[in-house]
């Protein structure tokens, strides 16, 4: 039996490649079937590995899922972290909208993975949602509220402004098939959405 990899033992190139293959395969399987519908056999098959080989790198389906969600949350929260309290309010908010839309374009599987986790009750990330995410959103909501009180953007419920940005950007990843079916060929959903959302939020936030 091969020794179990440890955090203190450097991984070989093949081990790094196999580990990444498992995570890529799991992202495909989880984003299509959700956590409950996904199996280790499916992940191993997509990764091109045997199930025992997969278990050498990850002890369980839960461990793979947790690894994916941990990395995803860091990516997902980064655009909101970059909203600068010292910047121009409208420019900062529009930049946040653009960054969120880019994430949906560039990471559609990750977006669907996160959406599936939320729809299934978020039991594996509920603690993070109620602490890390809530704290970050509360801090940025206070920035938005200050800008509103200073008369620099229109007065709106700041938390719901953030929620609306999430909904209007992540929709293009989570409902990609529907968007493309409705628009038909010859359309670039993300380019069109980018222009539309800029107009929408400029008008929404105008004094």
- CATH number of the domain encompassing residue 37: 1.10.10.60
**Is there a domain that residue 118 lies in?**
yes
Whether residues 187 and 128 fall in one domain: yes
pLDDT of residue 149: 98
Give the phi and the psi of residue 112 in degrees, each rounded to 5: -70, -35
- CB 138, CB 80: distance < 8 Å: no
**Is there a domain that residue 91 lies in?**
yes
pLDDT of residue 9: 61
C-alpha dihedral sign at 145, 171, 119, 123:
negative
pLDDT of residue 2: 41
Whether residues 200 and 101 fall in one domain: yes
**Is there a domain that residue 3 lies in?**
no
Whether residues 98 and 163 fall in one domain: yes
- CB 56, CB 91: distance < 8 Å: no
- Assess whether pLDDT exceeds 60 at residue 21: yes
pLDDT of residue 127: 87
Whether residues 52 and 107 fall in one domain: no
Tokens standing for 81?
A: 């972290």
pLDDT digits (tens, 9 = 90+) for 80-129: 999 999 999 999 999 999 999 999 999 998 898 888 888 888 888 888 89
- Tell me the residue range of the domain where 92 lies: 66-205
pLDDT digits (tens, 9 = 90+) for 48-83: 999 999 999 999 999 999 889 888 888 889 999 999
- pTM more than 0.85: no
Q: How far does Cα 91 stand from its chain's mean position?
A: 22
pLDDT of residue 1: 36
DSSP-assigned states of every residue in 105-161: HH-HHHHHHHHHHHHTT-TTTHHHIIIIIHHHHHHHHHHHHHHHHTTSS----HHHH
**Is there a domain that residue 98 lies in?**
yes
- CB 197, CB 101: distance < 8 Å: yes
Whether residues 74 and 22 fall in one domain: no
Whether residues 51 and 79 fall in one domain: no
pLDDT digits (tens, 9 = 90+) for 36-48: 899 999 999 999 9
- CATH number of the domain encompassing residue 86: 1.10.357.10
Whether residues 123 and 162 fall in one domain: yes
Angle at 35 between CA 34 and CA 41, to 5 degrees: 100
**Is there a domain that residue 4 lies in?**
no
| Confidence tier at 179 by pLDDT (50, 70, 90) | very high
- Assess whether pLDDT exceeds 60 at residue 15: yes
Domains of the chain: total:
2
């Amino acid at each position: 039996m091969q020794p179990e990899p440890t955090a203190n033992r450097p991984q070989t190139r093949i081990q790094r490649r196999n580990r990444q293959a498992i995570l890529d395969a799991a992202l495909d399987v989880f984003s299509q079937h959700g956590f409950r519908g996904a199996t280790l056999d499916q992940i191993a098959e997509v990764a091109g590995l045997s199930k025992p080989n997969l278990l050498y790198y990850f002890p369980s389906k839960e461990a793979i899922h947790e690894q994916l969600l941990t990395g995803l949350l860091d990516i997902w929260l980064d655009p909101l972290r970059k909203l600068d309290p010292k910047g121009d309010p409208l420019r900062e908010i529009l930049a946040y909208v653009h960054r969120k839309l880019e994430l949906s374009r560039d990471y559609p599987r990750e977006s669907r993975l996160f959406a599936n986790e939320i729809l299934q009750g978020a039991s594996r990330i509920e603690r993070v949602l109620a602490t890390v995410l809530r704290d970050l959103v509360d801090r940025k909501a206070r920035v938005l509220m200050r800008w509103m009180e200073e008369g620099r953007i229109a007065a709106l419920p700041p938390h719901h402004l953030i929620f609306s940005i999430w909904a209007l950007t992540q929709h293009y990843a989570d409902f990609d098939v529907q968007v493309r079916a409705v628009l038909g060929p010859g359309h670039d959903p993300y380019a069109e959405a980018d222009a539309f959302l800029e107009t929408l939020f400029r008008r929404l936030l105008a004094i």
